[in-house]
């Protein structure tokens, strides 16, 4: 077997999130995170603070700032008693339609109202990413990117289908009250953008951040 070059050595990725969808997306792309760490960021308080100091945030600005805060909240932590040695990725998502930003609905009635308003229409899913170089256990440079994808919903989704979907509890804890990687995909007509962006972690964006920000090729994260 040829000797592995230093610039081809494996690189670890730590996910500052406990999202099952983000984890599944990374695994499908060949990456098993070295750790899943809940950042513990109070999102509402952070957005309120930023709005007070800077004025209203656009949806893209909001997810970018939240992704950065989540990644930075993990800096210096231990994973299974060991210091982080790799890259930290933070992410956040929000769905925007008619210039109104929708996060997670949490309640049945909110999800139902949104779905009745969304069917047959298009909206934008904003997905923020922030990547911090924490190789060697020392925090370094952080870089970020926000990716967008336009989602068009089917116009023939019935009230009965909406109620059945809400009864699964799936739409209550996801931005925009829909998924494209589970039950919700049946009610989506088209997506203009990379599907992983809608899931909440754009794999092409992560590849670009690694390559352009740190000179790390994507395949160095493959470990599955």
Asked if 190 contacts 123 with a C-beta cutoff of 8 angstroms, the reply is: no
**DSSP codes of every residue in 43-91:** HHHHHHHHHHHH-PPPHHHHHHHHHHHHHHHHTT-EETTEE--EEEEEE
- Residue 194 DSSP SS3: coil
Identified catalytic residue from 42, 92, 155, 156: 92
Enumerate helices (H) and strands (E) in the chain, giving the number of each: 7, 9
Which residue reads 């925009």 in tokens? 176
Residue 189: burial class (beta carbons within 10 Å; 0-12, 13-18, 19+) = middle
Structure tokens at 216: 């790390």
> In angstroms, rounded to a whole number, what is the distance separating the alpha carbons of residues 69 and 40?
10
E strand or H helix at 208: helix 203-214
- Residue 37 DSSP SS3: coil
Which residue reads 């600005």 in tokens? 61
92 classed as catalytic: yes
Catalytic residues: 92
């Amino acid at each position: 077997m040829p000797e592995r070059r230093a610039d081809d050595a494996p690189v670890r990725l730590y996910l500052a999130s406990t999202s099952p969808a983000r984890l599944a997306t990374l695994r499908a792309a060949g990456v098993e995170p070295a750790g899943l760490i809940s950042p513990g960021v109070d999102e509402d308080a952070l957005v309120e603070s930023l709005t007070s100091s800077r004025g209203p945030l656009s949806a893209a600005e909001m997810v970018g700032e939240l992704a950065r805060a989540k990644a930075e909240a993990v800096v210096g932590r231990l994973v299974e008693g060991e210091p982080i040695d790799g890259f930290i990725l933070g992410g956040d998502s929000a769905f925007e339609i008619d210039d109104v930003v929708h996060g997670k609905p949490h309640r049945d009635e909110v999800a139902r109202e949104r779905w009745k308003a969304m069917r047959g229409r298009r909206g934008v899913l904003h997905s923020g990413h922030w990547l911090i170089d924490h190789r060697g256990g020392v925090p370094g440079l952080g870089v970020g990117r926000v990716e967008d994808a336009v989602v068009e919903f089917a116009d023939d989704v019935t009230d009965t289908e909406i109620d059945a979907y809400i009864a699964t509890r799936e739409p209550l804890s996801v931005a925009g009250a829909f998924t494209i990687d589970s039950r919700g995909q049946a009610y989506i007509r088209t997506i203009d953008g990379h599907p992983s962006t809608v899931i909440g972690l754009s794999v092409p964006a992560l590849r670009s951040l690694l390559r352009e920000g740190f000179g790390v090729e994507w395949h160095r994260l493959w470990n599955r």
